[in-house]
Amino acid sequence: MGKLDQLAIIRLLLKNKEDLDDLTIEDYFSESFLSSNFWTFWRTMFAFENWHSLLELKLYMHRFLHAIDGLNDLSSLVFPKYNQYDTFVTPLRKVLQSKGVNIRFNVLVKDLDIQSNTDGKVVEALITEQDGKEVKIPIGKDDFVIVTTGSMTEDTFYGDNKNAPIIGIDNSSSGQSAGWKLWKNLAAKSTIFGKPEKFCSNIEKSAWESATLTCKPSALVEKLKEYSVNDPYSGKTVTGGIITITDSNWLMSFTCNRQPHFPGQPDDVLVLWVYALFMDKEGNYIKKPMPQCTGDEILAELCHHLGIIDQLDDVIKNTIVRTTFMPYITSMFMPRAKGDRPKVVPEGCKNLGLIGQFVETNNDVVFTMESSVRTARIAVYELLNLNKQVPDINPLQYDIRHLLKAAKTLNDDKPFVGEGLLRKMLKGTYFEHILPIGSEEQEDHESFLTEQITKFKDWLKGIKG
């Protein structure tokens, strides 16, 4: 990035949150920033669009400041053994059920019966729809109600190799789905419940599409091996993060996490994931927007970019495609202002907590497992009046070492403004080590390591002798 764009990031980090209400990323940053490699890395990693919330981008930059130097080679990423559902949700569900939790499906909770008096607001019943009938579930005096406001995955459309998930985007249906009904009904009762329409009213700006590829050996798998450090079948990390095709009209990305991705997955099968941020544009090879494409057509677009379009038949024959069009998948990134998201325990509520991606979290980001867990813990601790502290957000953004390291990374690992003066001031002092390693120190460091490795190898030879 140029110096002015680096300065713009620093200024953003210094701004108060209250100054960023309803601003978008493109309201603040210049065209040179929006076309930079840094923004390509960042937006494809976290699924930000130019029209998304500048405030949320700021919070993400604070939250992941310590990992910026690992962004360009994806070394800052970590992965569970299996997919997130089997790694986190399945064991949690089993624990809950073993403790007597009753999980019920096909029940729509569309509203809450809330009674207000001088003591506060109390939920007295859940208003539900079950088998087409309205059913009230009473809430006892010792009961608590925890509500997830909104849904990122509501109204998902599915497709396969021969069928597209959706033909067009109907923006008139924004926010009309069942997954948003409860929050909208709560918001109609009081301003303390926020403004759901800020997040669910523009499908064109909150949607994107992804695809899961289940692959048997083919030309696609062979091409994947070329891009991967490790053999995809070795059980080690494969791509180490998403691979983005920067000249793709769709801005298509794909990834292969550690395999097997699912328990019980056959040994000769790999599972890949594909998504696109610019899905509304025509493809380079398939001249249609991505949501109008079948799975086979998405494979054709991918093979075109990978240079194996001449082997498309082989790839299609050995690849099962499942596409998902998600109208609200980035709805939590939509521009917002103070008060648009409710507090975890809204003012005056005695037995009601709100959790998920659409509640205020005091500087935490959305869309992470950690923030989901944190909102639930806040709800439980406050409602039960427990004398327990929810763990703090990762504090590394306040560590001067990481601030200096980030400044150097943003300047393409060249000395940042004032670095020379800092080196002179701290040279020979106890705090000299907090500065990022300079080019001369890096050479000395690498020379030292090479020397030590050579000595270690000679020592091993001596032992074998």
pLDDT value of residue 241? 86
Residue 136: strand pairing partners: 127
**Statement: 84-203+330-383 belongs to CATH 3.50.50.60:** yes
Secondary structure of the chain: what % helix, strand, coil (to 5)? Answer: 40, 15, 45
Residue 324: strand pairing partners: 158, 210
Q: Label each residue of 213-234 as H, E or C.
A: EEECCCHHHHHHHHHCCCCCCC
d(CA 127, CA 63): 38
What letter does residue 412 receive in the DSSP assignment?
Answer: T
pLDDT digits (tens, 9 = 90+) for 204-256: 999 999 999 999 999 999 999 999 988 999 999 898 889 999 999 999 999 99
Positions of the chain with pLDDT lower than 70, given as ranges: 167-175, 437-449, 464-465
Residue 130: strand pairing partners: 133
Closest by alpha carbon to 238, among 214, 281, 266, 271?
Answer: 271
pLDDT value of residue 133? 95
Query: Nearest 5°: phi and psi at 254?
Result: -145, 160
Amino acid symbol at 117: N
What letter does residue 349 receive in the DSSP assignment?
Answer: B
pLDDT value of residue 80? 86
Total Cβ atoms within 10 A of residue 97: 11
Angle (nearest 5°) at CA 194 between 192 and 199:
175
pLDDT digits (tens, 9 = 90+) for 347-385: 999 999 999 999 998 889 998 888 889 999 999 999 999
What letter does residue 175 receive in the DSSP assignment?
Answer: T
Q: Which residues lie closer than 8 Å to 93 by C-beta, 6 or more apart? A: 103
What letter does residue 110 receive in the DSSP assignment?
Answer: E
Amino acid symbol at 35: S
3-state DSSP assignment of residue 320: strand
Average pLDDT of the chain, as a whole number: 91
Would you list the domain boundaries of the chain? 3-70, 84-203+330-383, 208-326, 399-464
pLDDT digits (tens, 9 = 90+) for 403-412: 888 888 888 8
pLDDT value of residue 79? 82
Please check whether residue 15 is in contact with residue 387, taking contact to mean a CB–CB distance below 8 angstroms: no
Q: What is the pTM of this model?
A: 0.87
**Alpha-carbon dihedral angle through residues 146, 393, 65, 429, given to the nearest 10 degrees:** 180
Please check whether residue 345 is in contact with residue 314, taking contact to mean a CB–CB distance below 8 angstroms: no
d(CA 349, CA 120): 6
pLDDT value of residue 67? 84
User: Residue 273, class by beta-carbon neighbours within 10 Å (0-12 exposed, 13-18 middle, 19+ buried)?
Assistant: middle
* Residue burial 384-419, b: 16+ Cβ < 10 Å; e: rest: eeeeeebeebbeebeeeebbbbbbbbbeebeebeeb
User: Residue 280, class by beta-carbon neighbours within 10 Å (0-12 exposed, 13-18 middle, 19+ buried)?
Assistant: middle
The topology under which CATH files domain 208-326 is D-Amino Acid Oxidase; Chain A, domain 2 (3.30.9)
Closest by alpha carbon to 256, among 296, 275, 228?
Answer: 228
Q: Which residues lie closer than 8 Å to 358 by C-beta, 6 or more apart? A: 149, 150, 183, 194, 196, 199, 332, 341, 342, 366
